Structure 1
Amino acid sequence: MLKIFVFLIGFFYFIYEIESHGYLIDPPARSSAYREDSLRFPVYYTDTEMNCGGKSVQWDQNNGNCGICGENWSLPKRYELGGDRYRGYRVRNYPMNGKIPISVNIWTNHRGWYEFRLCKVDDQPSGEADHACLDKILLADESGRTRFNTPTQVEGWRGFFNTTLVTPENFVCDHCVLQWKWNVGNSYGIDFETGENCLGCGPQEQFYGCSDIRIYDEIIVTKPASTTKPAIDPNAGTVWSQCGGVGFSGSKSCQTGLDCVYFDDYYSQCQPASPKSSTRAQSTTRISASTRSDSTTTKTIQTRSPTTTTATKTKYQSANSNLGAVWSQCGGINWQGPFECQVGLDCVYQNEWYSQCKPSSQDRTTTTARTTTSSQRANQNQGAIWAQCGGINWNGPFDCQSGLQCFKFNDWYSQCIPFSRKFMKFFNTILTINEGIY
């Protein structure tokens, strides 16, 4: 009877997956970022359905309008600034004039095409992106293409769409929003130009994803060499120790020969200074766009010249071009770049199409629990799907991997099961049937 019960659970979960659609996996959308770090980002198991409330809601009720992240236009925007699910953390950092790896996970293909847009939130008085801002920058790949067809026109196909976009020339931002738009093509409609009734013409269902990113550029602030000996902080951080981050109360300076390198809002680390920067004739302060503020620098002394910009590398630029920088890709199907990361980084597997250079867990022992990523937690002792996770005399793990919930059947047995609103609706029905049988 238990085998039948488990089979029914799997069967209904399969049905749930068939109803799903797709989501932006890299850079992770606000509604999907929990898949990488469910401690910093709220879990939302229906992130594959950011479709503006559905075709009829978007076009018949809201006149084609939709939230920038794919939410129903007429309802509160939970993933926009002011919403209860908004966090604003930058999930990726990219270099100026660099490339942006893109990966979309398609659970159920509906044909159509994709576009990707960019908004510089730094310039937005509201502090949030909007469609007017996003429409200013339509991102392209190296060939100049801005619209991408789905990998196949087979309805229901499941897989990944991967491409690489380029950042706008000489463009930097401390906070940008990258938007993915999927205009599906599985409904018949009227072509506005020809008047023809055809598949994929006219208003279609649309899916969106919005990711918070940073595009950085090093700024060199040059000062005359000091003739006085600087004061030494007795509590200055040692190599690889933490030197900053939200909630951090220790010293924010590092010992001589070390730089305090910014990773994210919750973690900065003391790392060996670049040999080139330590031998310069003039003393320099190295900051990235992510840490720049008018209160810490003087505009009149900021300089950017070909000789100084290339002489010193930021943390996010690799002194060795064969090693991946922080947050850069380091593996995946068809990947032709480096498979190893810089010192202090680990190449973390995301899926068969994408691995990424992330701060090493060995170097972040002092980081708060909030910075633990889901990929690191998955390597710990957590239950896999359908595994036991509790019960009288149970000595195994009581936590489940990301995307699963430990569900109590009785005092003797709890199990890791997929958890979503749709799945639980079916699951509760099966539980009722099961209780009747027993």
Structure 2
Amino acid sequence: HVGSDGSLQEVVACRPVTMTKATFATAALLLLAMAPSVSGHAWLTEPPSRNAVGSARNGYCPQCGNGAGICGDGNQWPQSSNYLGGENEGVKRTYTAGEIVELAVQVTAHHRGHMEVRICDQRLGPLTPDPEGPSGCLNKWVLHRVAPEEMYGDCVPNDPRGSCQPLDPNHPERWYLPPGVGQHKMHFRIPANLQCENCTMQWRWWTANSCIPADGYGCYFWHIEQRGWNADTWCGTMCGTCSGSFLQANASHASGQKRRCAEEFRNCAD
């Protein structure tokens, strides 16, 4: 095109842009790929938890068990999806009193913190009276970790095996999440005096990526650092502190009172 002054000018043709179905589908996939992940963080795989199978009941997301539900509910599904109403009926695993059991969790988003395992000496359901209360069944049977010396006998500092981490002398029920995503295995002992025909195990994870969710973190990480472990890789910016008074204290209580400042995950297995 020649302008009024005699110069050559480029003409850019303008026309409506129409998006075909194929183009639209591609764009939608790109948008989904760019969206932040909300796929959850972790779940109990051994023994198989009630929510282990992805379905409409859990939004096809077995690892989305965060929230206040006893057996896990992120408040992103229907109210009936709290895994207290009869999901996965029947006993899935049988253990013996006093036995060492290997549990496994699948971690998809690493948020540090610690895990605990408890057993209700009845099948946990909607009519179970206040199972997490002071006299509830889940506070009656709190499992303790197996000492690394008893489990393996050849553990070294920064050992990649999760059960090699030193015991927390003040909280023997805690298993701290080692660095790294994927499957983690931990070993606990079934209480020697526990007897029940239809029990429910509860796995609970207190995350620690945004705050220190419970007392004693600082002393534990100081404890393992003194034994040659790289504590910073376990706790990051949420290591806490450990004063002399805490070091001398004999914490005889379990981790019952929590600060509830961070995300928590719960699963149940039968």
Structure 1-normalised TM-score? 0.35
Asked whether the equivalents of residues 64 and 74 of structure 2 are also in contact (C-alpha less than 8 Å), the reply is: no
Structure 2 residue 25 is matched with structure 1 residue 25: no
Is 1:204 matched with 2:262?
yes
Change (3 A) 1:124 1:87: closer
Which amino acid in the other structure matches residue 115 of structure 1?
E
Post-superposition shift, 1:151? 1.2
Size of the aligned set, in residue pairs, is: 183
- Opposite residue 98 of structure 1, the aligned amino acid is E
User: What are the ranges of 5 or more consecutive residues in structure 1 without an aligned counterpart?
Assistant: 53-65, 213-438
Q: 2:65 aligns with which of 50, 59, 81?
A: 50
Pair 1:186 & 2:209 matched: yes
> How many angstroms apart in 1 are the aligned matches of 2:196 and 2:47?
16
Alignment partner of 1:140 is 2:167: no
> What letter corresponds to residue 184 of structure 1 in structure 2?
T
The percentage of counterpart residues that share the same residue type is 24
Structure number having the greater strand percentage: 1
Query: What is the DSSP-based 3-state SS (H/G/I as helix, E as strand, rest coil) of the residue aligned with 2:63?
Result: helix
Tell me how far 1:80 sits from its aligned partner. Answer: 4.1
Mapped contact 1:50–1:209 kept (Cα < 8 A): yes
Q: 1:80-119 deviations in whole A, cap 9, x for unaligned?
A: 44x3x63432121223332322000000001111111111
Distance in 2 separating the partners of 1:95 and 1:102:
15
Cα distance in structure 1, aligned partners of 2:187 and 2:212: 32
Letter of the structure 2 residue corresponding to residue 79 of structure 1: N
Change (3 A) 1:106 1:189: closer
Q: Evaluate the alpha carbon distance shift between residue 21 and residue 92 of structure 1 in structure 2; reply closer, same or farther with a 3 A threshold.
A: same
- The answer as to 2:81 corresponding to 1:78 is yes
Cα contact 2:42–2:105 (8 A) shared by 1: yes
Contact 2:206–2:213 under 8 Å retained in 1: no
Distance across 1 between alignment mates of 2:117 and 2:196: 17
Superposed CA RMSD in Å reads 3.9
In the superposition, relative to structure 1, how do residues 87 and 17 fare at CA in structure 2: closer, same or farther (>3 Å)? same
Aligned counterparts of 2:174 and 2:50: Cα–Cα separation in 1? 22
Superposed CA deviations along residues 364-394 of structure 1, whole A, max 9, x for unmatched, are xxxxxxxxxxxxxxxxxxxxxxxxxxxxxxx
Deviation at 1:20, TM superposition (A): 2.7
**Contact 2:114/2:177 (8 A) holds in 1:** yes
1:150 aligns with 2:177: yes
2:95 aligned partner: 94
Matches of 1:146 and 1:124, distance apart in 2:
24
Q: Is the 8 A contact 1:117 1:134 kept in 2?
A: yes
Q: Distance in 1 between matches of 2:126 and 2:31?
A: 49
1:301-316 to 2 correspondences below 5 Å: none
* 8 A Cα contact 2:98 2:192, kept in partner: yes
The residue that corresponds to 2:192 in the other structure is 169
Distance 2:51 2:125 in 1: 22
Aligned-partner residue type, residue 238 of structure 2 = L
Assess, with a 3 A threshold, how the Cα gap between structure 1 residues 6 and 139 changes in structure 2: closer, same or farther.
farther
Whichever residue aligns with residue 174 of structure 1, its letter is E
User: Deviation at 1:211?
Assistant: 0.7
For the Cα contact (< 8 Å) 2:124–2:199, is it kept in 1?
A: no
TM-score by structure 2 length?
Answer: 0.54
Mapped partners of 1:125, 1:78: distance in 2:
12
Q: Confirm or deny: 8 A CA contact 1:79 1:86 kept in the other structure.
A: no
Q: Could you tell me how far apart the structure 2 residues matched to 1:28 and 1:113 are?
A: 20
Cα drift, residue 45 of structure 1: 1.2
